[in-house]
Chain A
Amino acid sequence: MPLAWLLLLIPFAGLAAVPLYNKASPDLLGFPFFYWYQLAWVPLTALLIYLVYRKTSNDR
C-alpha cells in the first residue's frame, strides 16, 4: 500500500485539534479564526484526496 494513503488522515488530525483553532484571531475578511480555519480544510481536503488519487490511480 503506497504511503500516499496516509495523506487522507491529515484532515482528521487538523480538525480534531479543536483547542488549537478555537480562537477569534487572526481573523480573515471578518471571519474569526475558528471559522476560516475550518472552511479552509474543505479545499485542502479535496486537494489531499486529489493527490492520493493521482498517486494511486496508475496502479489500477
Chain B
Amino acid sequence: MTAEPDIAALTVFVFFFALVAVLGIAAAHWRRPKSLAHIDEWGLGGRQFGTWVTWFLIGGDIYTAYTMIAVPALVYAAGAYGFFALPYAIIIYPFVFAVMPLLWKAAKDKNYVTAADAVLGRYGSRPLELAVAITGVIATMPYVALQLVGMETVLQALGLAGKIPLIAAFLILAFYDYTSGLRAPALIAFVKDTMIYIVVLAAVALIPLKLGGYGAVFQAAEAAFAAKGSGSILLAPHQYIPYATLAFGSALALFMYPHSLTGIFASASQDTIRKNAMLLPAYTLLLGLVALLGYMGHAAGLKISNNNEVVPLLFKTLFPGWFAGFAFAAIAIGALVPAAVMSIGAANLFTRNLWKAYVDPSVSPAGEARVAKFASLAVKFGALAVILFLPVQFALDLQLLGGLWILQIFPALIFGLYTGWFCAPGLFAGWAAGFLGGTWLAWINGFKPLHTVHLGDASVTLYSGLLALAANILVAALVSGAWRSFATSFSTRSKP
C-alpha cells in the first residue's frame, strides 16, 4: 500500500518527527549528570527515574508501535482470539507488583545493570550468566526489527515509498541514542505517549460515531467474519485454552525482556515500581481500545491487501489529512522509544556479560559505557539489515521464538529471589531443556505459537512457550535435587 503523499499529513508528520529528534539529542542535558561516561548513566539514566518518568518510559516501551499495528491486525483477521493481548496486559501487573521490587532491590544493592548480572550475583555461575545474556540479546533483536516494520507501515501510508525514509528515521534514532543513552527515550516517551493517548481517544470516540456506534461496529465485524467463513467476535470452544495460556505465558515473558527490565532497574525506588504496577494499567485500557480498531476496519468496509494496513487506512479514510499525519507520527515515534530501550538493554547485556566477562574483565565504568554505545549501534544496524534484506516473515518467526526463549530465563532470574533451593547446574540444565525443547516445538508447528498435546484419546492445545517452561522447571528441579543430594553425601563422606 503506497499512496500519493498528502501534504497536510506529511507536514504534521515531519514537524513532530523533527521535534523528537531535537528532544532526543537535548536529552543528554536532562537532569544533567557529571558525566554520561558511566554505564549507570548511559544505560540506566542514573537509576533516578521517579514514578511519572518510569510510567511514561515503561508504558512507552512495552506498548510498542508494532503493538498498535499488529494487535488490531490480528483482531481484524481472527476476531476475539486476537484479544488475548488484553488479559495478557492485565495479569502482568499483579506479578510486577509482587516480584519486581525484590529484583530492583537486589540490583540496587549490588549495582546490577542486567538480568544476567543478577543471575551471576545470585549463583556465581558464569555459564548461567552467559545463557541469560545470550537469550536476552537474541530475543530482543527481532523485536527491534518489528518496530521498524511498524514504522515502515506508516511511512508507506504517508506515501513515502522505498527504504530511504526508513533508513533516515533510523539514523536519527541511532544518533541521539548514542549520545544521550536511556535519557533520550525517557524524554521522548512523554511526547510519544501523549500523542498516542490523543490519537486513540479521538479514534475510539469519533470513529464509532461515524460508523453508527459500537453495537454497529461489532455487528459489522461479525457479519464480515461470517461472510469470510473464519473468525468470530466470540471464541470457539477449542480456542479457550490457547487464549488463556497465550495470555498467561506472554505475561510471564514480558518482564524477562531486557527493555522491560531496563525500565525497572532505572527506577528510583521499590515504591516507584509498586506505584507503577497500579498506574500502568491505564495503558492496558488503551490497548483494549486499540484492538477494537480491527473491528472498526470491518465496519468502515476497508479494502486491504495486508492486515497490517488496517490502522493506517482507517485513519486515512475517516480523518482529515493533518490528523492522519499526527496519528502516523505518533506511531512512528512510538517505534523509536521501544527500539531505543531495546537496543540499550541488549547493549548493556553485551557489555556487562559478554565483553566484561570474556574480553576485558578490567574495563572501567567509562569503558563499559563506550562499549555499550557501540553495541547499541550494532544491534540497531543488525535489525535494520534484517528488515532491508530478509523477508518480514523471518522477523515475525524470530519474534515468536524470542518470546518463547526469553520465558526460559524466568526460573534462573526469579526463583532465586525467593529460595536458595535451586542450584546453578539445575537452572542451566532447565534453561537448556526449555530453550531447545521450545525451539523444537516451534519448528514442528511451523512457527505457530501453539502445540497440541495428545494424552490417549484426549488432546489439549496450548502455548508452546508454557510447555517449554514446564519442562524447564521440571529439569531444573530434578537436577537441583540430584545435585543437592550428591553434594550432601559427598560432604558427609569427606568429613573425618
Contacts and interface: CB of A to CB of B under 8 A. Distances in A.
Interface residues of B, number: 40
B54 to A, nearest CB: 15
Interface string B48-87: 0000000000000000000000000000000010010011
B224 to A, nearest CB: 15
Contacts of B215: 27, 30
Interface in B271-318: 271, 274-275, 277-279, 281-282, 284-285, 288, 292
A31 B218 contact: yes
A29 interface: yes
Given A11-B91, A18-B240, A24-B234, A32 B278 contact: no
Interface string B222-234: 0000000000011
Contacts of A5: 98
Given A22-B240, A24-B234, A27-B215, A15 B94 contact: no
Interface string A33-60: 0110011011101101110110001001
Contacts of A38: 83, 86-87, 90, 288
Contact of A42 (B208, B214, B235, B284): B284
Contacts of B90: 11, 15, 38, 41-42, 45
Nearest to A51: B278
A34 B94 contact: no
B80 A34 contact: yes
B235 A46 contact: no
Given A19-B237, A45-B93, 15 more contacts: A11-B91, A12-B91, A12-B248, A15-B247, A19-B240, A22-B80, A22-B240, A23-B234, A24-B234, A30-B214, A32-B218, A38-B86, A41-B87, A43-B285, A45-B281
